[in-house]
Each structure stands twice: as C-alpha cells, then as structure tokens.
Amino acid sequence: MPDGAASRLERGASVRLDKVLFSYGEAPLVFDVDFAATKITAIMGPSGSGKSTLLNLVAGFETPRSGRVLIGGADVSVQPPSARPVSMVFQENNLFAHLPVEQNVGLGRSPSLRLTEADRTDIAEALLRTGLAGKEKRLPRELSGGERQRVALARVLVRDRPVLLLDEPFASLGPALRDDMLDLVAGVHAERGMTVLFVTHQPQDARRIGQNVVFLDNGAVAATGKADDFFTGAGPDAFRRYIGSGVGDAVSRDIARKRT
C-alpha cells in the first residue's frame, strides 16, 4: 500500500458480496467476493458474465435472491439504492436532460434541490475540479459526451459517498478523451480515497488506473488479484484467453506511453 494511504483509510469502505445468488430469468449468478477498501478494482469479463449485474447488486438496483451485500461491514441487502453509501456512474443517461449542469450536480446533495449556500459552494468547487467551470447553466444536450460524464463525476464529488461504481462510463469516448477521464477518476480517487469498482472491457483502462482486478466468467468470480500480476502474464488462463494475444501489444504500448 503506498504511503499516505492511512489518512484516507476511513474514507473508503470495503464492499463484500457474501454468497450472493441472483437470477434474471436465465442462468443464476453467484458472487462471493471482497473488494478492498480505498482501492480501485477493475471488474473484467466477457459479455454476459455479470459485470453490470454485480454493480447493480451493490448499488441496490437488483435484489439478491439469497446472500448478503455488505458495505463497510454493514448489511445493506434490503436498503433502497438512495440509502446505500454508494454513487454509480452509468454508461449513459447520467443526467436529467431538462436540467442545467448545476442542478444535475445539485441533485447529488438534495433530491428536492433545496440547497444551502454551503451546498452551492461545494457544487461550484466540484464543477471547477472536473473542468466544467463556466458551464453551470448549460443543458446536457449542449455538452459533449465527455463533458456529460464530467458532470456525473462532479455529482459524485458532491454526493461524497465512500463507494464509487463505474459501469463502463467512458466506453463511448475516443481513446484520448478516455485517458483524460481515467486520469480525472484517478486524481479524484487520490484526493478522496473512496473504494472504486470499475467495470471495463478495455485492458488498457484497467491497467491505467486499476490496482486490483476481479475477473468474472460464466456468472461467477473466476479470479482475483493485483492488476500488475494480471497484466504481466501471471493471470489465470481464462483471463489470458479473454484478453487475447493482440491486446498484449496494446498493453505494452500503454505501458510505454505511461512511462514517457
């Protein structure tokens, strides 16, 4: 664990899925896994392996058939989504299209938009941090795709929950923009030290900011470990097959770019 982590230890909360069984009509999914507090964990796996479902279970959009979801040691299995210490950023539709940027962010503080002066200061700060200063009054349709996701991140800052769930939020952005966004997430993580669960299809994304990796296959956790181990060839066979040979080059390219 890097130095300086001690100060943010109390910020992030651990996430644990305790023998969680879930079925969505078809084959059942079984999750039994721990996510370390204050770490960024990349969740990877083939389509249909249950990545998004796992996040939805943690966020409370899905209810397990049996088993428990624990956040910071407390059982949140029956809590509604808004009561859980969690923020989630989706791939799209993170914003209310008819509300301007600052109100979309403000909803993170008060669901009825009753905001105090202090709240407004926090909102302005969050917008500044995410590079949206001056765009407070814009409507989502007047923003680019990247800017819209920045607004969602600004709301995460204002909401200030110990767990952040990212469900492929940058999948539709171009490579350079995606890197910018990942760096923004990494930066925010460095300041706030929340626990981040990050679903992605892109090995380079996982490599860029992920500290741990959880690999899902066939509706269950197939492997867990340090990101470095996974990407240096020490990962399980299934993971290597999923990544494929071509992507190995992308990984090394990514490393090269990172080092320069």
Binding region for other proteins (CB under 8 A): 24-25, 59-61, 63-66, 77-78, 80-83, 86-88, 90, 93-94, 96-99, 107-108, 111-113, 159
* 8 Å CB contact between 145 and 93: no
- Comparison of 22 and 239: residue with beta carbon closer to other proteins: 22
DSSP β-ladder status, 74-75 and 220-226: unpaired
Q: Which is nearer to other proteins, 42 or 59 (CB)?
A: 59
**CB nearer other proteins, residue 77 or residue 211:** 77
Q: Minimum distance between the CB of residue 9 and other proteins, rounded to whole angstroms?
A: 25
The 10 Å Cβ neighbour count of residue 98 is 10
Q: How far is the CB of 91 from other proteins (least distance, A)?
A: 11
Q: Please say which residue, 49 or 53, places its beta carbon nearer to other proteins.
A: 53
Shortest distance, position 88 Cβ to other proteins, whole Å: 6
Residue 185 C-beta: closest distance to other proteins, Å: 18
Shortest CA distance to 12 belongs to which of 58, 68, 72?
72
Buried b (16+ CB within 10 A) or exposed e, 126-160: bbebbebeebeebebeebeebbbbbbbbbbbbbbe
CB 72 within 8 A of CB 35: no
Report how far residue 143's alpha carbon sits from residue 124's, in angstroms, rounded to the nearest whole number: 17
Minimum Å gap between C-beta 68 and other proteins is 9
Task: Please say which residue, 14 or 79, places its beta carbon nearer to other proteins.
Answer: 79
Distance CA 105, CA 153 (A): 9
